[in-house]
Amino acid sequence: METAVTTPEAELEKKEILNRYRGLLRSCRYKLDDADKKLIRKAFNIALEAHKNARRKSGEPYIYHPLAVARIVAEEIGLGAIAIACALLHDTVEDTDITLKDIEGMFGKKVASIIDGLTKISGVFDASSSLQAENFRKMLLTLAEDVRVIIIKLADRLHNMRTLDSMERTKQLKIASETLYLYAPLAHRLGLNSIKSEMEDLSLKYTEPVLFAEIAQKLKDTQAERTRYIHRFITPIREALHDQKFKFRIFGRPKSVYSIWNKIKNKGVPFEEVYDIFAIRILIDSTPDQEKSDCWRVYSLVTDYYYPNPDRLRDWISTPKANGYEALHTTVMGPNGQWVEVQIRSERMNEVAEKGYAAHWKYKQGGHGEEDPLEEWLRKIRASLENPDSNALDFINDFKLNLFADEIFVFTPKGEMKSLPVNSTALDFAFDIHSQVGAKCIGAKVNHKLVPLSHKLNSGDQVEILTSSKQAPKADWINYVVTAKAKSAIKALLKEERNKQAAEGKEILKRKMSHLKIDFTDTNINKITAFLKLQDAQELFYRAALERVTNKELKEYLESKDENTNTPLPVTSLEDLVSKARGKQDTLMIGDSMDNLEYKLSPCCNPIPGDDVFGFITIGEGIKIHRVNCPNAVAMMSNHAYRIVKAKWTSQKLISFLAGIKIIGIDKIGLVNRVTNIISKELNVNMRSLSFDTNDGTFEGTIVVFVHDTTHLTDLIKKLQKVDGVVKVTRLDTN
């Protein structure tokens, strides 16, 4: 009998796999009994055997990935043995010969249903719809079965983000954008704060590598100075807490790179001017019945030493966020006139904030427990998904609004509290009660005063909905609501109404066509639809019902038909355009090799040669070229990844492109003259427009110039920065 020959490399890998498995067992935050250990060992052995010949893009054994995902589930989220076993097995049904029936036979129905949910998420969908949106929708549907499906999927995505280096640039961009658009908000909604922050940071690392490196370096450079300041701030508070006999931990935590970048981008300030680079966190070891009053006592001690900003107090202890987050946040004036954010929580609240509310839900240790806000939230999602007609992309955009939203708390006339996103209206409240109440809503009484449907609600409002059987939803209602539930219900009701009218319009059109002796056939209907440049036959019938399809238009169609008897109407499907753009190599080159494809430079970000760009396939306007850091890039890459094609500049011909420059500085005599001299003489650049505005000794100017590429633009910016009196020169994203 022959024995298998093993190489030293294979022996080392085997050793490393066992080390990682032992590390997984050590990382379990809950004590495992013998049955748990047996279950995890069995799952590990089966996953190891199933993936034995597979390797990741990096060249590592594939088993490293399920082991890493299981470790995130155990250590960073804190789920039990069933979830750990499912994480180890999560790719087996999709990628190996093991079937769902095999899993059920070996592990039982519960594990099989979770693996089934994870496999469905990764399913391939019809290419004409957005793969990402459909995937995400399917993922939410699985919540109906078990929330652990989502948590393991988030852990899987986090590990993929941590190992994204081995992927090619275009894949990195798509995965990072999708993570930022869908997965990070979902982690936030489930209360997985540390996972959300890491996903955001890693996404930024790949979508904006230069900016990410710059902020990370600045955080590193200012660390010593920050540590000294934190120590100075904390010292008096620590002494006061000791005096009051509190058991506590107090420390400073730097904000994530992503949140700092957001401040820089949204507020237009440099890194040095972002005042809340860090937050002070005070964690008190307190019993559940005392933690609320203890947090307020700590707040009182902090404000004895530092003056609070009354507009920046956030009380999430009295009314926790929907994801279970509880804390007191205040911003106080620290030493050197610097505002500092202070977060006060109990150790239990901190556990929920960092590891996620889901980990404390009824699945922990297989217990049942009572229904809680997470279950209520899952039920709302399921209600939104029940409508089979709802468009996946619309659903994602509506749902995303709610993922990020802060909340208000309002009351029914009987005193029942309802939680709604901030900016919700009386109409949102009506749909939250029931879709039929929303459909018949004519107005509301807020705190006993009559208000219109569009009235924005505030926390503490008491709301009574007024209805009428004669009321029907209107198209402009969609502008009055912010909740996903209301939006999807209004769209469904309007669609239903539109279909009724289209059915009437079909009969009207049939009579008109009969009068003009045009046969009422599918072919003629499609030709008339194309002639009138309408979206589809349903739109044609709807317009006919509104008397917007005239006899004159039908006669014009007849005349054009006679002229073009032998000329078929050109039809270019999106699929044709995609395959034409992608070619055999799935690449698109801008410049010489793209003569046969129409493309336009997108006005939302004005790309110029040298910019990192991608192509986006539109139906009517060919291919549009966007910068990778375009404000719309994340949504496009997430929702329409299949319509993204590679694009890069192939030749640097001396063609001029428009670019905008913003200049800020001190108003000095002759400064504008020196700036215009540099632009027109030194670099031989043509200006399209120039505007300067002075205000109390400072000036701000916007110049739109023609440049050849990014190098040309960078040289110009560098020269302008050297002009005496100029403080800051930046490129404008839009002109």
Name 315's Cβ contacts closer than 8 Å, sequence gap at least 6.
328
Q: Six-digit token pair at 503?
A: 């059915």
Question: According to DSSP H, which parts of 444-550 are helical?
Answer: 484-515, 522-531, 537-545
Q: For residues 553 and 559, what is the distance between their CA atoms, to the nearest angstrom?
A: 10
Name 356's Cβ contacts closer than 8 Å, sequence gap at least 6.
77, 78, 151, 187, 190, 191, 192, 193, 195, 324
Q: For residues 168 and 315, what is the distance between their CA atoms, to the nearest angstrom?
A: 45
Q: For residues 15 and 9, what is the distance between their CA atoms, to the nearest angstrom?
A: 10
Q: For residues 477 and 55, what is the distance between their CA atoms, to the nearest angstrom?
A: 53
Name 332's Cβ contacts closer than 8 Å, sequence gap at least 6.
302, 303, 306, 307, 308, 309, 339, 340, 342
Q: Is 198 a catalytic residue?
A: no
Which residues on adjacent β-strands are paired with residue 410?
418
Q: For residues 479 and 311, what is the distance between their CA atoms, to the nearest angstrom?
A: 29
Q: How buried is residue 142: exposed, middle or buried, by Cβ count under 10 Å (0-12/13-18/19+)? A: buried
The residue type of 133 is A
Instruction: Say which of 60, 75, 94, 667 is annotated catalytic.
Output: 94
Q: Do 256 and 359 meet the contact criterion of CB atoms below 8 Å apart?
A: no
Which residues on adjacent β-strands are paired with residue 171?
none
Question: According to DSSP H, which parts of 516-632 are helical?
Answer: 522-531, 537-545, 551-563, 574-582
**Phi, psi dihedrals of residue 726, rounded to the nearest 5°:** -80, 125
Instruction: Say which of 95, 315, 394, 504 is annotated catalytic.
Output: 95
CA dist 433 → 125, 416, 485 (Å): 34, 11, 10
Name 47's Cβ contacts closer than 8 Å, sequence gap at least 6.
63, 66, 88, 89, 92
Of 282, 280, 307, the residue nearest 296 (C-alpha): 282
Q: For residues 341 and 473, what is the distance between their CA atoms, to the nearest angstrom?
A: 45
**Phi, psi dihedrals of residue 465, rounded to the nearest 5°:** -90, 135
Q: Do 108 and 39 meet the contact criterion of CB atoms below 8 Å apart?
A: no
CA dihedral 218, 221, 223, 226 (to 10 degrees): -80
Q: Is 598 a catalytic residue?
A: no
Of 314, 488, 495, the residue nearest 401 (C-alpha): 488
Residues belonging to the active site: 94-95
